[in-house]
Amino acid sequence: MKLKARPATIKDEAQLLAWANDQETRRQSFITKRITKKEHHQWFSKVLTDKHNQRLFILENDDKSPCGQFRFSRNDENDWEIHFSLDAQYRGQNLGRQVIRVCLDIFKKNDQRLRLIAKVKKDNLASLKVLAAAGFEIEKNSSPDANNLKLIYITK
Ligand SMILES: CC(C)(COP(=O)(O)OP(=O)(O)OC[C@H]1O[C@@H](n2cnc3c(N)ncnc32)[C@H](O)[C@@H]1OP(=O)(O)O)[C@@H](O)C(=O)NCCC(=O)NCCS
């Protein structure tokens, strides 16, 4: 299966809420409570309009069915954070590396030298593996006791 990315549109709102409330995705997030339709609507409207700081993409398979999503959110001028997930039915098929590859292909199109951060819970082994395989490195001064890790990827 070949995953392709396209920018999210207003039509993706319900699908993105369903993915956001996926049990495993909530468990691996830093705010674990379920997201209401209203909260999601406010958040999503802001993400779609704040083009300077937010880039949200839908992953599609060969049939153009939605398989997952990823988002870059800006922390600072050259400093971004990545969020990603696959629909539960597409997990466990070794597509994780491809997800990150598609993310980085888009991220690296920018000419500047950028830093991309992934904040991952320590028990999120699938995410840690796919990020490490793509060249993300654990931040050197990460506290060994923290229950989450910061992984960093620098372009160029
Ligand atoms: C993160 C995510 C995209 C990874 O995709 P996936 O389909 O589950 O993972 P893959 O099948 O590609 O497997 C990747 C690697 O993790 C391993 N793996 C997968 N699930 C695992 C599990 N539950 N425990 C341990 N290892 C696991 C695989 O064996 C594979 O290892 P390899 O690279 O040595 O072959 C997906 O799990 C997901 O959407 N999770 C919920 C959202 C999330 O956690 N997002 C990231 C927040 S930072």
Q: Give me the CATH number covering residue 95.
A: 3.40.630.30
SS3 5: strand
The type of residue at 72 is F
Nearest CA to ligand 1 atom 29: 126
- In whole angstroms, what is the distance from residue 14 CA to residue 35 CA? 12
Domain residues for the domain of 75 are 4-154
112, HSE (Cβ side, Cα atoms, 13 Å): 7
DSSP annotation of 35 reads P
Domain total for the chain?
1
The rounded mean pLDDT for the chain is 96
Q: Is 98 in the pocket of ligand 1 (CB under 6 A)?
A: no
Quick one: which atom of ligand 1 is closest to the CA of 82? 48
* Confidence (pTM): 0.96
Average pLDDT over residues 75-102: 97
At residue 143, the pLDDT reads 74
Q: Is 94 in the pocket of ligand 1 (CB under 6 A)?
A: yes
Nearest CA to ligand 1 atom 4: 96
CB 107 within 8 A of CB 154: no
Query: How many angstroms is it from 153 CA to the middle of ligand 1?
Result: 18
Alpha helices of the chain — where are they, by DSSP H? 13-20, 23-27, 37-49, 96-107, 125-133
Quick one: which atom of ligand 1 is closest to the CA of 97? 12
Average pLDDT over residues 82-103: 98
Nearest CA to ligand 1 atom 1: 127
Query: How many angstroms is it from 49 CA to the middle of ligand 1?
Result: 31
At residue 127, the pLDDT reads 98
**With 90 as the cut, is the pLDDT of residue 126 above it?**
yes
